Every structure is written in structure tokens, then in C-alpha cells.
Amino acid sequence: MSNFLFDTNVFIQAKNLHYQFSFCKGFWDWVSEGHAYGLFYSSRKVYAELMDGHADDEARAWAKAIPSSFFLEDSKIEAVMEKYTQVIRWAYQSPQYTDAAKAEFAQEKIADAFLIALAKHGGYTIVTQEKSSPDAKKKIFLPDAAKANGVKTVLVFDLLNSRATSTFQLAVV
């Protein structure tokens, strides 16, 4: 059984689009339940990205409310930082990407490289909304960087398909 690390974009897109708190609390409960079973996690860098949201942002409030154990430490763990160094080295050695793409990917405030490092360290699969773009030059996409570094990714919809049941019910008002 694989354990999963959630990317920031899963939460941002969920609250803005498909799984808004006003009509799909079940999605958020599913994530919480998956964590309670020891399957679902994210990273402290993702937490920091969520905290950058507006004070009244629902995803921010949710991140504050879920047990802190959901957000695994990343940059303070030496073994993870060794993997992070490998991920950044891969990016800078890749002739495919522009210097700007490499610099953006390596920004300390962006979670992607840290997620890959944490996944490499702990054997996690990364859950994302981002799709692979293997021919991109101006941006390093998470699924492509993960694959190049031996880390699996899965789209949140595919994870829902394999790890969730239907929870939608009609509300008659």
C-alpha cells in the first residue's frame, strides 16, 4: 500500500473549483480520513504555501485545523535535504530547461522540489493536479521532475477513483 503526499495545487483547485467547501465537504473529510489511516500527508512547504493565502481563505483555515502531523517536516531533515540537493542538481544539469525555469524551480518558497525530495526519502507517491509536459522548456512541471528523480505521481482524480467511494447526495430545498 502506497502513501501519498499532496501538492498545494490539489487544495487550491479543490477549494476554487471541483470540491468547494460549500458543496463538497466530503472531499476534505476524505483527505482527513486518509491521514487518520496513515495514507495521506503533505509537507511543511505546502503548509507554508497555503498560509500565504488570504486570512479568510477556506483552504488556509482547513490546513490550520487538520492535525499538524499531516504536514511532514521537509527542510529541517538532513536526509530529505540530501535528496533535495539531488533534485536541484538534476534540474540545473538538464539542458532542456531555461535558466529562468531552473531558478523558479529552485526557489525555497516553492514546494515542488521539496515534495520530490520528501517523496524520494519516504517512498511516497505525489498527488497533484499538474499534468506532465515533457517538452516544456520554460517551466519544470512537477510530474516530469518527479519522474526524472524516480518518484511516482498521480492525479487527484485518479486517486479518488481508486481510494474513494461516491459521497454526493442530492440536497432538496
Bridge partners, residue 55, by sequence? none
- Give the tens place of pLDDT for each residue, 97-121: 999 999 999 999 999 999 999 999 9
Distance, in Å, from the CA atom of 63 to the CA atom of 49, rounded to the nearest integer, reads 10
pLDDT (0 to 100) of residue 150: 98
Q: What is the pLDDT of residues 47-89, one digit of tens each?
A: 999 999 899 999 999 999 999 999 999 999 999 999 999 999 9
Contact at 8 Å (CB) between 45 and 74?
A: yes
The residue ranges of every structural domain in the chain are 4-163
Q: Give domain 4-163's CATH architecture.
A: 3-Layer(aba) Sandwich (3.40)
Query: Using one digit for the tens of pLDDT, what is the confidence trace for 140-169?
Result: 999 999 999 999 999 999 999 899 988 766
